[in-house]
Chain A
């Protein structure tokens, strides 16, 4: 990397050279930008102590993610599924439904949490599906899209097994899917 050398191969015709003034204006965009809020409390909450870094302890999610998680937990509790958070730390069981989350020989903590999340999500969905309700064909594309999104996120977690961001996105997707299913069930 040569961040301070503006004269390197910028004149390669294949690069569609920029006028000098634009090139320098772009360089000036390289400046610090503090986050709007202090991120440290959320970061600190996610750091495992070095000595037990490989432990399976679950750490609290950042505040920004608290709302969708709380929503999902509320829905799950309302339909009789208990132990959302507790199950996140369990090792993956042989439950067939967990096959949706592929595992390597040694799944990461995030993958195990995703497995727990998937298991609880499927249990909650099963409970909702037992409630007799009229089909809602208008919402079917949304259901399909959310299911597809969940599968894509799970696939992305395979490639990036330590991404908490993907885990949070999985939570949000499951949360939206459950909320939608619940809406159909009570309407």
Chain B
């Protein structure tokens, strides 16, 4: 009974330090977003510093490069975020909203490149890399996974990145890419087949 009393009378425990830090960080981010939406560039710079790596990462995966193109698109995504911030209503986490906006920016660029023949210099030109050579040896065994993903054709790569890496659903991908759900599944099927071939997987 004494033990029970002791348990009952124990003062409520403080939340773990990491939980408190998480709450603080969320409140801090909300304040930054609100300030940035009012036009405070210092607040927006702080948001850029927090999220640049994540945003550049997903864009680089989607466009299959980590050079100037991915950086240009990262830049464009943040400019668009700045322009759209006044309409942001915290219906989703800012990080989720920004991530979606970055994906949209990269996909729009992929779509526009798809209609321009002079831009065939990326993945489509590499469509055959990694396929089995005449000796039956997979020539891309030396390609690491990231490189193999980067050399997939743009549309197939976008679907594979969004589904297998970012964890989106086919319905979301179809909406974002302006295609039917069946097309998203077909692109994923194609992308996975190409990826396995490039990696020499059975």
Q: Is A12 touching B185 in the complex (CB atoms < 8 A)?
A: yes
Given A9, A12, A15, A163, which contacts B108 in the complex, CB threshold below 8 Å?
Answer: A163
Task: Write 12 A-B pairs (CB below 8 A) sorted by A numbering.
Answer: A18-B196, A22-B199, A29-B61, A29-B145, A29-B149, A34-B53, A36-B71, A44-B45, A153-B112, A153-B116, A165-B72, A165-B109
Q: Is A53 touching B83 in the complex (CB atoms < 8 A)?
A: yes
Q: A36-B66, A36-B71, A165-B109 are in contact. List 13 more A-B contacts (CB 8 A).
A: A1-B169, A9-B170, A18-B196, A30-B57, A46-B79, A64-B68, A64-B71, A145-B117, A145-B118, A149-B117, A160-B112, A166-B112, A168-B72
Q: Is B112 touching A26 in the complex (CB atoms < 8 A)?
A: no
Which bracket fits the contact residues of B?
35 or more
A23: chain B residues at CB < 8 Å are 164
Given A26, A30, A37, which contacts B145 in the complex, CB threshold below 8 Å?
Answer: A26
How many residues in A have their beta carbons less than 8 Å from beta carbons of B?
59
The verdict on B201 contacting chain A, using a C-beta distance below 8 Å, is yes
Q: Is B75 touching A42 in the complex (CB atoms < 8 A)?
A: yes
Q: Is B165 touching A6 in the complex (CB atoms < 8 A)?
A: no
The verdict on A137 contacting chain B, using a C-beta distance below 8 Å, is no
Beyond A50-B38, A64-B68, A152-B116, whether A163 also contacts B201 by CB under 8 A is: no
Tell me the minimal C-beta distance from A10 to chain B in angstroms: 8
The verdict on A140 contacting chain B, using a C-beta distance below 8 Å, is no
Q: Is A40 touching B166 in the complex (CB atoms < 8 A)?
A: no
B166: chain A residues at CB < 8 Å are 1, 3, 30
Closest A residue to B162 using CB positions? A1
Beyond A25-B145, A49-B39, A164-B79, whether A6 also contacts B167 by CB under 8 A is: yes
Q: Is B168 touching A1 in the complex (CB atoms < 8 A)?
A: yes
A12: chain B residues at CB < 8 Å are 185
B174: chain A residues at CB < 8 Å are none
B193: chain A residues at CB < 8 Å are 16
The verdict on B94 contacting chain A, using a C-beta distance below 8 Å, is no
Tell me the minimal C-beta distance from A112 to chain B in angstroms: 16
The verdict on B101 contacting chain A, using a C-beta distance below 8 Å, is no
Q: For window 1-27 of chain A, which residues contact chain B by CB distance below 8 Å?
A: 1-6, 8-9, 12, 14-19, 22-23, 25-27
B140: chain A residues at CB < 8 Å are none
Beyond A32-B53, A33-B56, A162-B80, whether A149 also contacts B116 by CB under 8 A is: yes
Closest B residue to A59 using CB positions? B79
A43: chain B residues at CB < 8 Å are 48, 75, 78-79, 82
Q: Is B57 touching A32 in the complex (CB atoms < 8 A)?
A: yes
**Which residues of A line the B interface, CB within 8 A?**
1-6, 8-9, 12, 14-19, 22-23, 25-27, 29-37, 39-40, 42-44, 46-51, 53, 62, 64, 145-146, 148-149, 152-153, 155-156, 159-160, 162-166, 168
Q: Is A39 touching B167 in the complex (CB atoms < 8 A)?
A: no
A18: chain B residues at CB < 8 Å are 164, 192, 195-196
Beyond A1-B96, A6-B167, whether A35 also contacts B52 by CB under 8 A is: yes
B145: chain A residues at CB < 8 Å are 22, 25-26, 29
Q: Is B149 touching A47 in the complex (CB atoms < 8 A)?
A: no
Question: How far is B146's CA from A25's CA once the two chains are assembled, in angstroms?
Answer: 10
Q: Is A4 touching B115 in the complex (CB atoms < 8 A)?
A: no
Q: Is B185 touching A14 in the complex (CB atoms < 8 A)?
A: yes
Beyond A29-B61, A149-B116, A163-B108, whether A50 also contacts B167 by CB under 8 A is: no
- Residues 170-198 of B, flagged 1 when their CB comes within 8 A of A and 0 if not, give 10100000000000011011001101100
The verdict on B41 contacting chain A, using a C-beta distance below 8 Å, is yes
Beyond A22-B201, A153-B116, A165-B72, whether A47 also contacts B52 by CB under 8 A is: no
